[in-house]
């Protein structure tokens, strides 16, 4: 009697617990995903992803519930595709292409011409051979992914960090001052359907350095367009920094996006995340500052008709690159993305949701 009473109480408890869990997970899976929300505004939401992340079923599930587009975090970079000269590594590229195809996700190409994550053997080559190697790299990768990649970050981070014209890179030195025009022509020839982008960071704020960088980018665009060089859009990386208090205004950003639109260009936010490395205090304080920054930024960009897609650099704090690249002084892990390391929604996600729902559609 007593024993079965215990069992009965236990199974009642188990049933109640199961019901609560079911309700909870129903609530969670019933949430409208980010991409679904973005579509209501004529946009798509995407996320960067590594091939390693494809091995994590919980992360893949979160991804599929929230994105309509993926960007390979590292797999398409030259150091990954040709670590030894002439030895092409297509495995990771093909895995991501298959994943995108299987789940009907858009795929961004990232990135062809950059001064980082280059294979070591390149620097030893004489300049003319190196130029030919770049052309071969662009042509090969774009042809391999033809039809699967809708937009390519052909050139990554070409503007000088201080805004003094073009950044002095191996490619400027190899191909000369018009290297951007040259590689854009190569890219157009390799995959005529793909949209060709220039992608850069530090274009979102209101400080003098940002304004100088914008000016330098607009000058570059004007000179390319005068010479009828193919260029379809500009990517704003949007690696943002949450301020210690208050929220950054992004006052001048809508005007800048309009300048891009007036030049006939598309706009994408390509690598969105919000670092909390300068915010002290509790997790709640840090999360509030991060969420406020997402809100202010999205409010500034969402009403721009040229905006096509917003891609965050990962979806959960488990994936962030920031702890390696810009660690916090107190050694704590950062909380820059909409979901935490356990893939639970954070204030940032609620704020992103609310801002998209409130956004003006044109
Ligand atoms: C980062 C990746 O997230 C890291 O895993 C890698 O170690 C370095 O590169 N701007 C870019 C991205 O255009 O390609 C960078 O990605 C982040 C900054």
Residue pLDDT, tens place only, 13-45: 444 444 444 344 434 556 899 999 999 999 999
Using the mean position of ligand 1's atoms as its centre, give its distance from the Cα of residue 362 in Å. 33
Q: What is the DSSP string of 243-309?
A: -SSS----TTHHHHHHHHHHTT-EEEEEEEEEE-TT--S-HHHHHHHHHHHHHHHHHHHTT-TTEEE
What is d(CA 188, CA 274) in angstroms, rounded to the nearest whole number? 33
Pocket mutation for ligand 1, best pick of 73, 269, 316, 317 (most atoms within 8 Å of C-beta): 73
Helix (H) or strand (E) holding 357: helix 347-358
String of b and e for 1-25 (b: at least 16 CB within 10 Å)?
eeeeeeeeeeeeeeeeeeeeeeeee
pLDDT number for residue 9: 46
237 lines ligand 1 (CB under 6 A): yes
Q: Is 156 in the pocket of ligand 1 (CB under 6 A)?
A: yes
Q: What is the pLDDT of residues 220-273, one digit of tens each?
A: 999 999 999 999 999 999 999 999 999 889 999 999 999 999 999 999 999 999
Strand locations in the chain (E): 44-49, 69-72, 106-113, 151-156, 195-200, 233-236, 239-241, 266-275, 307-312
pLDDT for the residue 31: 86
Residue 6 φ then ψ, to 5°: -65, -45
Instruction: State in Å: Cα 139 to ligand 1 middle.
Output: 22
Over the stretch 133-145, which tens digit does the pLDDT of each residue have? 999 999 999 999 9
- How far apart CA 137 and CA 117 sit, in angstroms, is 14
Residue 248's pLDDT is 87
Ligand 1 midpoint to CA 194 (Å):
22
- Lowest mean pLDDT: which of 1-5, 60-64, 319-323? 1-5
Structure tokens at 54: 């494809």
Q: In the structure, what pLDDT confidence band is assigned to residue 361 with cuts at 50, 70 and 90?
A: low
Task: Please give the DSSP secondary-structure letter assigned to residue 339.
Answer: B
Residue 128 CA from chain centroid, whole number: 33
Contact indicator for 142, 167 with CB cutoff of 8 Å: no
pLDDT per residue as tens digits for the range 148-157: 999 999 999 9
Mean pLDDT value across the chain:
93
Residue 4 has pLDDT above 50, yes or no: no
Q: What is the pLDDT of residues 49-99, one digit of tens each?
A: 999 999 999 999 999 999 999 999 999 999 999 999 999 999 999 999 999
Only one residue has tokens 């920094």, namely: 241
pLDDT at 258: 98
Q: What is the pLDDT of residue 30?
A: 66
Active-site residue set: 157, 271
Q: How far apart are CA 91 and CA 81, in angstroms?
A: 9
Any residues with CB less than 8 A from the CB of 177 and at least 6 apart, and which?
Answer: 166
- Ligand 1 centroid to Cα of residue 334, in Å, is 16
Secondary structure class of 165 (helix, strand, coil): coil
Q: Which positions ≥6 away from 156 have C-beta within 8 Å?
A: 110, 111, 112, 113, 114, 199, 200
Q: How far is CA 244 from CA 207, 234, 241, 288, 310, in A?
A: 16, 29, 9, 10, 25
Residue 5 has pLDDT above 70, yes or no: no
Q: Is the pLDDT of residue 197 over 90?
A: yes
The pLDDT of residue 29 is: 53
Give how far Cα 272 sits from Cα of 123, 302, 352, Å.
Answer: 31, 14, 12
Percentage with pLDDT > 70 across the chain = 91
Residue 335: half-sphere exposure toward Cβ, Cα within 13 Å: 25
In terms of pLDDT, which residue wins out, 241 or 5?
A: 241
Give the residues across from 310 on adjacent strands: 45, 269
280 is written with which tokens? Answer: 């002290």
Tokens 């993305």, located at residue: 337
Q: Residues 62, 86: contact at Cβ < 8 Å?
A: no
Residue 325 has pLDDT above 90, yes or no: yes
| Average pLDDT for 102-121 | 98
Question: Which ligand 1 atom is the nearest neighbour of the CA of 201?
Answer: 10
């Amino acid at each position: 009697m007593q024993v079965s009473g215990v069992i009965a109480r236990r199974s009642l408890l188990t049933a109640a617990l199961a019901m609560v869990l079911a309700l909870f997970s129903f609530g969670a899976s019933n949430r409208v995903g980010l991409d679904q929300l973005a579509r209501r505004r004529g946009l798509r939401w995407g996320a960067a992803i590594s091939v390693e992340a494809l091995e994590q079923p919980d992360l893949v599930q979160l991804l599929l519930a929230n994105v309509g587009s993926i960007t390979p975090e590292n797999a398409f970079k030259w150091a990954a595709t040709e670590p030894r000269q002439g030895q092409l590594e297509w495995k990771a590229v093909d895995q991501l292409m298959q994943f995108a195809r299987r789940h009907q996700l858009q795929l961004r190409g990232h990135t062809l011409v950059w001064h980082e994550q280059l294979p070591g053997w390149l620097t030893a080559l004489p300049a003319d051979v190196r130029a030919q190697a770049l052309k071969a790299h662009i042509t090969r990768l774009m042809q391999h992914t033809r039809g699967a990649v809708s937009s390519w970050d052909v050139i990554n981070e070409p503007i000088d960090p201080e805004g003094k014209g073009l950044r002095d890179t191996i490619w400027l030195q190899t191909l000369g001052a018009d290297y951007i025009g040259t590689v854009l022509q190569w890219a157009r020839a390799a995959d005529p359907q793909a949209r060709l982008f220039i992608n850069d960071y530090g274009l979102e704020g209101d400080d003098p350095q940002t304004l100088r960088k914008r000016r330098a980018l607009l000058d570059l665009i004007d000179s390319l367009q005068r010479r009828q060089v193919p260029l379809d859009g500009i990517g704003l990386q949007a690696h943002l920094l949450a301020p210690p208090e208050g929220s950054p205004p992004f006052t001048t950003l809508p005007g800048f996006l309009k300048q891009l639109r007036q030049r006939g260009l598309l706009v994408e936010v390509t690598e969105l995340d919000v670092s909390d490395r300068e915010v002290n205090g509790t997790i709640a304080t840090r999360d509030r500052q991060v969420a406020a920054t997402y809100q202010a930024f999205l409010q500034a960009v969402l009403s721009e008709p040229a905006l096509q897609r917003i891609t965050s650099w990962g979806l959960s704090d488990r994936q962030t690159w920031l702890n390696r690249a810009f660690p916090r002084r107190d050694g704590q892990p950062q909380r820059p993305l909409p979901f935490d390391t356990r893939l639970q929604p954070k204030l940032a996600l609620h704020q992103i949701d609310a801002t998209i729902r409130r956004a003006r559609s044109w």
